[in-house]
Amino acid sequence: MAKLGFIGLGVMGGNMVARLLEKGHTVTGYNRTRSKAQWLIDKGMKFAESPKAVAAASDVTFTMVTNAAALAAVTDGPDGLLEGIGAGKFHIDMSTVSPEVSRALAAKVREKGADMIDAPVSGSVITLQQGKLSVMVGGRKESFEHLKPLLLDIGPKVTHVGDNGVALAMKIAVNLQLAVQMMAFCEGVLLAEKSGISREVAVDVMTHSAIASPMIQYRGPFVLQQPKEAWFDVNMMQKDMLLAMELGRKLNVPVPTTAVSNEFLTAARGMGWEKLDFAVMFDVLARMSGVTTGVQK
């Protein structure tokens, strides 16, 4: 069993650590807010005082944080991961940042004699807990082969899709479709509803039809009732849309449905709903259609 480090103990990261502990690994963790790590400390995780200390204590260090700024905050500076990592060690970044940011970080890690791969995941905590999470990997083939057994302790499907940053591009390319599919779903539900079909029946029929992706199956019912806690809120969804549009501009790929759907996420923020699950797109479109929903009060 390897000595592992894990920086960023949010819902997803924390559950991964729990899983790695169960598999028998030694894990040293770090989180900005220590109190959120207590349940993991109770399970045997060591807590370190800085990202640098985590990397120094570990053969392989994971990072899983919110965005590029948060990633820089844990990798750079005197207490950063880059100060603790060294020859023969590995860094696995699971954050969703742009491929460019990821490649720039990989270059810095290599200057220290270590190597980095990007390994973003698609799926929710439930998927992780069920042991069904897919992991896409970008980076050197040899590093991938070396780290694969470790990643298999997280999820059953681990795929090498290309060089550094490429797994992130893949994830972004998948995630833009979440928002567009949801937007089209909202258009369909409102058409059905205004045609005289109850919203419940419309959602039921659609979640059993040819357009019922796994995402539509679990998120579709959110147009009837927002979940207690957002699974993926408007701000998070929009972050991924912006990464998709940024990638589109860099690579010269027009992304028209992404661009249009994104404007409805902006509208959701205009209405003050940025912390709700992004299924709240439905309430934006409903308001534009003169239909009242629960969210609108």
- Rounded Cα distance, 99 and 78, in Å: 25
Q: What is the nearest approach in angstroms of a copy of itself to the Cβ of residue 270?
A: 4
Residue 270 in the binding site for a copy of itself (CB under 8 A): yes
Closer residue to a copy of itself (CB): 1 or 253 = 253
171 in active site: yes
Helix (H) or strand (E) holding 12: helix 11-22
Q: Which of 126, 249, 292, 296 binds a copy of itself (CB under 8 A)?
A: 249
Q: What is the nearest approach in angstroms of a copy of itself to the Cβ of residue 254?
A: 4
Segment near a copy of itself (CB under 8 A); pick from 7-15, 21-29, 39-47, 163-171: 163-171
Tokens matching residue 30: 């770090």
Collapse the DSSP code of 195 into the 3-class scheme (helix H, G, I; strand E, B; otherwise coil) and give the result.
Answer: coil
Segment near a copy of itself (CB under 8 A); pick from 3-11, 49-57, 110-118, 256-264: 256-264
Q: Which of 247, 279, 280, 295 binds a copy of itself (CB under 8 A)?
A: 247
In DSSP terms, 91 is beta-bridged to 61, 116
Exposure on the CB side of residue 88, measured as CA atoms within 13 A = 6
- Rounded Cα distance, 127 and 205, in Å: 24
Closer residue to a copy of itself (CB): 79 or 204 = 204
What number of chain residues touch a copy of itself (CB under 8 A)?
82
The full DSSP string for 29-78 is: EE-SSGGGGHHHHHTT-EE-SSHHHHHHH-SEEEE--SSHHHHHHHHSST
Q: Within positions 75 to 94, which residues make up the interface with a copy of itself, using CB under 8 A?
A: none
From residue 93, alpha-carbon distances to 23, 72, 239 in Å are 20, 12, 18
Q: Which of 244, 276, 279, 280 binds a copy of itself (CB under 8 A)?
A: 244
Q: Within positions 169 to 228, which residues make up the interface with a copy of itself, using CB under 8 A?
A: 169-170, 172-174, 176-178, 180-181, 183-185, 187-192, 194-197, 201-202, 205-206, 208-216
Residue 139 in the binding site for a copy of itself (CB under 8 A): no
> Catalytic one among 141, 171, 194, 250?
171
- The answer to whether the beta carbons of residues 255 and 157 sit under 8 Å apart is no
Residue 122 in the binding site for a copy of itself (CB under 8 A): yes
Residue 112 has a CB neighbour count (10 Å cut-off) of 18
Residues forming the active site: 171
